[in-house]
Amino acid sequence: KVKLKFDVFRHVRTFSTADKPTVVEESTKTHPSTNDKRQCFDDMVEFRKKQARSSVVVQVGNPLKSAALVNQVCSRHGNVSNLFHYTHKDKELLLLEFDSELSAVNLLASCSHNNNVKVIPAASPFLWLKAMPSESSASMSARFPLIMNEDNLANDNLEELLSNAKSISEQMIILEDQTRLSEIGHRLRWITCVQIERMLSGLFPSLQVLPFGSFVNGCGRNGCDLDMAVSLDGHCGTEPLEVKSPLIFQAKAAINNPRLQTQRHIEVFADILQNFTTGCTQVQRILQARVPIVKFYHEFTGVDCDLSMGSLTGVFMSELLYLYDKIDWRFRPLVTAVRHWGAWARLTDMVPGPRITNFTLTLMVVFFLQRRSPAILPTLSEMIKLARPQVDTRQTNDVDCTFLRDPAMFQERGKLNQESLEDLFVEFLRFIESFDFNERSVSIITGTALRKFDSKPLYVQNPLERELNVGRNVNLKELTRVVMEARNALYILETQEDQCPANWGLLALPRAERVRRSNPKSSHHNHVPQIDMKDLFSTNTDDEIDDFIEAKVS
């Protein structure tokens, strides 16, 4: 059973010889482990959390020998339905899933601490197999799964697969398929969420930890970070049930400043993570940020984590992107190609700074798809108008995040547009190249390019916190690079017949970049008609433009 699952993930789709596979069966586009009917974000979260609560991770010495014993020990508490093996640094780890949460709870209740004097005796789903009698090895080894690391699932022969594809559309599907966050990657992030939730709910019993960001919105790639938000009351933006009792809790008076109060909470969470939570290392408190967070690294899953509190807009933003992914299957491969293009051309960066972020690029893709004719994605205004009372009502920190949470309403409409992925990717680059960033803003609320609300080079409106500009960090140099690189990519894609056959389509983009970096004079973009930057950004100073040209030349 386990082997079969593994094969599903390694499976590379084959395509018909049709040049542009504009119609691909919806069933082949969803994550293999995700039930197609689970289109609702809350259902997906509940399903994954339940799965994580039914799972444990066991560190072993020799996985081939230990798998049978671990399975035997765990099976005393219930049926083990899934077993995955992964490695992280020098650790060998097994992730086991039970049929029921109760089995995992019983297993954890039966575990002990290695040495109460030397360790802080805190319970977690991360376990260690202490001893292994030699006789118990073989029985399971035949069923034992291959290693399912995020890294080794990210394919070694991706270039070959892309090179053998029949069209750029097919390349985009392969790229999405091969780089999408693996099943083990999903499970390790969810188990981390559940671990943190259990630790913090010792102090705050109603607390819930809600993941957000690319990991849950469908755009997650192997190695992506884990963004989490804490809901202290556990209502997660919905209306609390009416309390009938006249008795209410005696409470300690709150600090009369919400921001300060949030900072205090984050400090407490950071202390718990640092001092008592298994696997959480390199804990950093970033209290002065607009949204205070605690950052840490989980040494049993290898995931970088951010935990925030105070606002759930990030969660609802992820829900919106999750819905867009469900509305039209082309959204995800297009976002993937755009994010890869951003990485290949070094437009995006792992660390915060003046470069455009993946999230900003994703909103630009939404905007672009809303403006196709016929539209592929609905505007947020349309989704707000159709919101069902109560079912769709969400509010966080005075921000109204109510919108229709049923993708089915728009799925048929998107199909009226038959544009292929290749056409969409090329048209997206053209949109970036020709958009009037100097005067206009990008807003997915109405899908219209309104006048800019501030003087920053790039204005991409945050659709939920409408007064915020998601692109405010991007400086003129970086925005100019985005436009130039779009022009460059268009040039490369449009002149690719001249290139070597193995180097075609999407593959030409990173390779051209490599050539350019090793030898700037031989670059493709020497042939690309240059942009008159003064026309594009008339409000910016000559000095800024000169700086940019100097940096580009050097």
List residues near ligand CTP by CB under 6 A: 212-214, 224-225, 227, 313-314, 317-318, 357-359, 462, 470
Binder of residue 342, out of Mg ion, ligand CTP, none (CB less than 5 to 8 A by kind): none
CB 508 within 8 A of CB 502: no
365 burial via Cβ count (<10 Å: 0-12, 13-18, 19+): buried
Residue 159 carries which side chain, given as an amino acid letter?
Answer: E
As measured in angstroms, the least distance from the Cβ of 215 to Mg ion is 6
As measured in angstroms, the least distance from the Cβ of 77 to ligand CTP is 35
Binder of residue 483, out of ligand CTP, Mg ion, none (CB less than 5 to 8 A by kind): none
As measured in angstroms, the least distance from the Cβ of 285 to ligand CTP is 18
- For tokens 């030397």, the residue is 118
Choose the stretch contacting Mg ion; rule: CB under 5 A; options: 191-199, 220-228, 388-396, 462-470.
Answer: 220-228
User: Cα(125)–Cα(108) distance, rounded to whole angstroms?
Assistant: 7
418 burial via Cβ count (<10 Å: 0-12, 13-18, 19+): exposed
C-alpha neighbours within 13 Å on the C-beta side of residue 156: 2
| Closest CB to ligand CTP among residues 402, 420 | 402
| Closest CB to ligand CTP among residues 247, 351 | 351
Binder of residue 207, out of ligand CTP, Mg ion, none (CB less than 5 to 8 A by kind): none
As measured in angstroms, the least distance from the Cβ of 187 to ligand CTP is 18
As measured in angstroms, the least distance from the Cβ of 295 to Mg ion is 12
| Closest CB to Mg ion among residues 227, 478 | 227
At residue 277, the 3 state secondary structure works out as coil
Interaction between residue 314 and Mg ion (CB under 5 A): no
Binder of residue 212, out of Mg ion, ligand CTP, none (CB less than 5 to 8 A by kind): ligand CTP
Quick one: which of 506, 500, 455 has its CA closest to 479? 455
CB 359 within 8 A of CB 458: no
- For tokens 């079969």, the residue is 4
Among 19, 225, 271, 304, binds Mg ion (CB under 5 A): 225
As measured in angstroms, the least distance from the Cβ of 175 to ligand CTP is 15
Q: DSSP letter for 503, please.
A: G
- Hey, what are 534's tokens? 């003064």
| Closest CB to ligand CTP among residues 357, 488 | 357
Residues from 200 through 219 that contact Mg ion (CB under 5 A): 213-214
As measured in angstroms, the least distance from the Cβ of 325 to ligand CTP is 12
As measured in angstroms, the least distance from the Cβ of 302 to ligand CTP is 15
Binder of residue 357, out of ligand CTP, Mg ion, none (CB less than 5 to 8 A by kind): ligand CTP
| Closest CB to ligand CTP among residues 313, 396 | 313
| Closest CB to ligand CTP among residues 82, 262 | 262
Q: DSSP letter for 331, please.
A: H
Interaction between residue 304 and Mg ion (CB under 5 A): no
| Closest CB to ligand CTP among residues 125, 185 | 185
CB 474 within 8 A of CB 515: no
- CA–CA distances in Å: residue 505 to residues 98, 130, 168, 175, 492: 44, 52, 6, 12, 8
Other beta carbons within 10 Å of 466: 12
Interaction between residue 310 and Mg ion (CB under 5 A): no
Helix (H) or strand (E) holding 88: strand 80-88
Binder of residue 359, out of Mg ion, ligand CTP, none (CB less than 5 to 8 A by kind): ligand CTP
Q: For strand 226-231 and strand 303-309, is the pairing parallel, antiparallel, or unpaired?
A: parallel
Helix (H) or strand (E) holding 87: strand 80-88
Task: List, in order, residues 6 or more apart from 420 with CB less than 8 Å away.
Answer: 20, 21, 22, 167, 169
| Closest CB to ligand CTP among residues 168, 470 | 470
